[in-house]
Amino acid sequence: MRHDPLKKKTIKKIFKVDIKELLREVSHEWDIYLPQKKIGGDVWFEQVPKAGKDFEDALMEMTLEDVDTVVSPKEIFFPQLEPLFDFNEGNIIEIAGSSPKFLLGVKPCDLQGILFADEFFSRNVKDFYYGNRIKDRFIITIGCLQPPRPDACFCTSAHTGPFAEKGYNLQFVDTGDAYLVEVGSEKGREFLVRFDSFFIDVQDTAAQNIEQIKSKASESIQLKLDFEKAISLMRSKDTVPEEIYRRTGERCIYCGGCLYVCPSCTCFNVFDDAKGGQGTRFRNWDACVFSGYTREASGNNPRHEKWLRTLRRYEHKLKHDCEISGISGCVGCGRCLSSCPVNIGMSSFIREITGEKNEK
Closest CA to 342 of 254, 216, 268, 280: 254
Question: Does residue 302 have a cis peptide bond before it, meaning omega lies within 30 degrees of 0?
Answer: no
The DSSP symbol for 91 reads E
Q: What is the DSSP string of 4-51?
A: -TTS---EEEEEGGGHHHHHHHHTTTSEEEEEEE-GGG-EEEEEPPSS
| Distance, CA of 341 to CA of 226 (rounded, Å) | 25
Q: Which is nearer to another protein, 181 or 259 (CB)?
A: 259
Q: Which is nearer to another protein, 207 or 333 (CB)?
A: 333
| Distance, CA of 194 to CA of 79 (rounded, Å) | 31
Q: Which is nearer to another protein, 13 or 306 (CB)?
A: 306
Residues in the chain: 360
Distance in Å, CB of 90 to another protein, minimum: 17
Strands 101-106 vs 138-142: parallel, antiparallel or unpaired: parallel
Distance in Å, CB of 24 to another protein, minimum: 20
Distance in Å, CB of 243 to another protein, minimum: 16
| Distance, CA of 280 to CA of 273 (rounded, Å) | 5
Q: Which is nearer to another protein, 55 or 290 (CB)?
A: 290
Give the helix/strand (H/E) hosting 137. none
Distance in Å, CB of 286 to another protein, minimum: 7
Distance in Å, CB of 290 to another protein, minimum: 6
* Residue 106, burial from CB neighbour count under 10 angstroms (0-12, 13-18, 19+): buried
| Distance, CA of 344 to CA of 342 (rounded, Å) | 6
| Neighbouring C-beta atoms of residue 270, cutoff 10 Å | 11
| Distance, CA of 69 to CA of 147 (rounded, Å) | 13
Q: Which is nearer to another protein, 301 or 325 (CB)?
A: 301
Q: Which is nearer to another protein, 36 or 157 (CB)?
A: 36
Q: Which is nearer to another protein, 228 or 272 (CB)?
A: 272
* Residue 339, burial from CB neighbour count under 10 angstroms (0-12, 13-18, 19+): buried
Distance in Å, CB of 147 to another protein, minimum: 15
Distance in Å, CB of 297 to another protein, minimum: 11
| Neighbouring C-beta atoms of residue 252, cutoff 10 Å | 18
Distance in Å, CB of 62 to another protein, minimum: 14
Q: Footprint of another protein on this chain (CB under 8 A)?
A: 36, 38-44, 46-47, 68, 70-71, 75-76, 79-82, 250-251, 253-257, 260, 269, 271, 273-275, 278-280, 284, 286, 290-292, 295, 299, 338-343, 360
Q: Which is nearer to another protein, 195 or 290 (CB)?
A: 290
What φ, ψ does residue 344 adopt, rounded to 5°? -95, 135
